[in-house]
Amino acid sequence: MSARVSPSNDATVLVFGPYNGDGVTELERRFTVRKLRERDLAELPEGERASIRAVAVAGHIPNAAIDALPNLEVIGHFGVGYDGVDAAHAASRGVAVTNTPDVLTDEVADTTLGLLLMTVRELGQAEAYARAGRWQAEGPYPLTRFSLRGKTVGIMGLGRIGLAIAKRLEAFGLAIAYHNRSRRSDVSYAYHDTLEGLAKAVDILVVAAPGGASTDKAVNAGILRALGPDGIFINIGRGSTVDEPALIDALRDGTIARAGLDVFADEPRIPADLLALPNVVVLPHVASASRDTRRAMGNLVADNLSAWFAGEPLPTPVPESEAAGLSRAKVS
Ligand code: DGY
């Protein structure tokens, strides 16, 4: 398994900043790879830029970097959410973009349920209590204010990941409602055509929607008010989908009861005001972060780049690239 896959893959791939280790290994197995330590093209001497035909990136690549690579053909984004890549801009320059759907769906859904349970049943605090010897010294951990029993969960974004979360919630015996741009014909969960309507109707609001302009700060002070003083907010999608200062205010003044967050507006920074609150559970964006799942994501990035250089259809082009006719390389 150490030889290059095919001589037709004789292309230089630029790894644009921090990237999964197994993913780099897989790219190196198939391609000539040039790595940048930071997301900064200044690290790549001008004279080397023309050799780059593909980029692999986990997170953000600025349009200026796309524009500065004259022979760039394809960007493989490590992650399903590709809000860090301006795919429309890339398409306007004839550059295809791919992402990594499906291979992480179940992992992210599993983590969502874990975060939900941590937030509702205080599992992190209870564990800290046991570790500190307080069970023996002070008696049982206090009964939790909240339970999942009898609750209705609203999902914002019933795509692949939202559906996988819903399936798990069904198995937990919970009622499910959702808000999407449009109603799905393949589920019988209650549909709300506004996010506010969904927030009003449920006990727990879970964001599983993509980031980007269409969802920017969609969860604002009004939505949090609609969720109400016993409401619980879970975000596994993107930090940009929430007005973070409004969320901090809502948690502080009891507008909502609790939040469980895997994503933040300015990762890896978590606002000190948020960390100071006792009614929030924070995770460091780990929803898909198991070695197996991240390896599968890295392999899918590499598979996309291999397909591109073999002139085959891309396994997972993003919709903007498909719409621009960039779902396979044009062989001249
Ligand atoms: C994704 O793939 O978008 C996830 O946020 C990465 O964990």
The fold of the 8-102+291-323 domain, in CATH, is: Rossmann fold (3.40.50)
Amino acid 330: pLDDT: 80
Amino acid 332: pLDDT: 61
**Of 10-14, 191-195, 196-200, 282-286, where does mean pLDDT reach its minimum?**
10-14
Helices (H) and strands (E) in the chain, counts: 14, 12
Whether 128 has a pLDDT exceeding 60, the answer reads yes
pLDDT (average), residues 30-38: 97
pLDDT (average), residues 295-318: 98
pLDDT (average), residues 227-256: 98
pLDDT (average), residues 58-73: 97
Amino acid 2: pLDDT: 37
104 CB under 6 A from ligand 1?
yes
CA 234, distance to chain mean position in Å, is 13
288 CB under 6 A from ligand 1?
yes
- Residue with the smallest CA separation from ligand 1 atom 4 is 79
Distance 327 CA to ligand 1 centre (A): 22
Distance 82 CA to ligand 1 centre (A): 8
Whether 8 has a pLDDT exceeding 50, the answer reads no
Distance 81 CA to ligand 1 centre (A): 6
Which residue among 82, 85, 108 has the greatest number of ligand 1 atoms within 8 angstroms of its CB, and so is best to mutate?
108
3-state secondary structure 21-68: HHHHHHHHHHCEEEEECCCCHHHCCHHHHCCEEEEEECCCCCHHHHHC
Amino acid 1: pLDDT: 34
State the pTM of this model.
0.95
Residue at 301: amino acid letter = V
**Of 2-11, 19-28, 251-260, where does mean pLDDT reach its minimum?**
2-11
What number does the ligand 1 atom closest to the CA of 289 have? 7
**For 253-286, what is each residue's pLDDT tens digit?**
999 999 999 999 999 999 999 999 999 999 999 9
CA 54, distance to chain mean position in Å, is 22
**For 134-163, what is each residue's pLDDT tens digit?**
999 999 999 999 999 999 999 999 999 999
Nearest C-alpha neighbor of 52 from the set 16, 99, 6: 16
**Both structure tokens of 329:** 């390389």
Whether 91 has a pLDDT exceeding 90, the answer reads yes
Nearest C-alpha neighbor of 208 from the set 260, 246, 151, 256: 260
Which residue among 20, 104, 240, 316 has the greatest number of ligand 1 atoms within 8 angstroms of its CB, and so is best to mutate?
104
- Residue with the smallest CA separation from ligand 1 atom 3 is 81
What number does the ligand 1 atom closest to the CA of 238 have? 5
Whether 209 has a pLDDT exceeding 80, the answer reads yes
Amino acid 208: pLDDT: 98
Q: Which residues are catalytic?
A: 238, 267, 285
210 CB under 6 A from ligand 1?
no
Amino acid 9: pLDDT: 53
Residue 56, beta-bridge partner list: 15, 76
123-128-130 Cα angle (round to 5) = 95
CATH number for the domain running over 105-282: 3.40.50.720
Distance 220 CA to ligand 1 centre (A): 22
- Residue with the smallest CA separation from ligand 1 atom 7 is 288
80 CB under 6 A from ligand 1?
yes
Contact call for residues 305 and 74 (beta carbons, < 8 A): yes
Confidence of residue 11 (pLDDT cuts 50, 70, 90): confident
Domain with CATH 3.40.50.720 in the chain: 8-102+291-323, 105-282
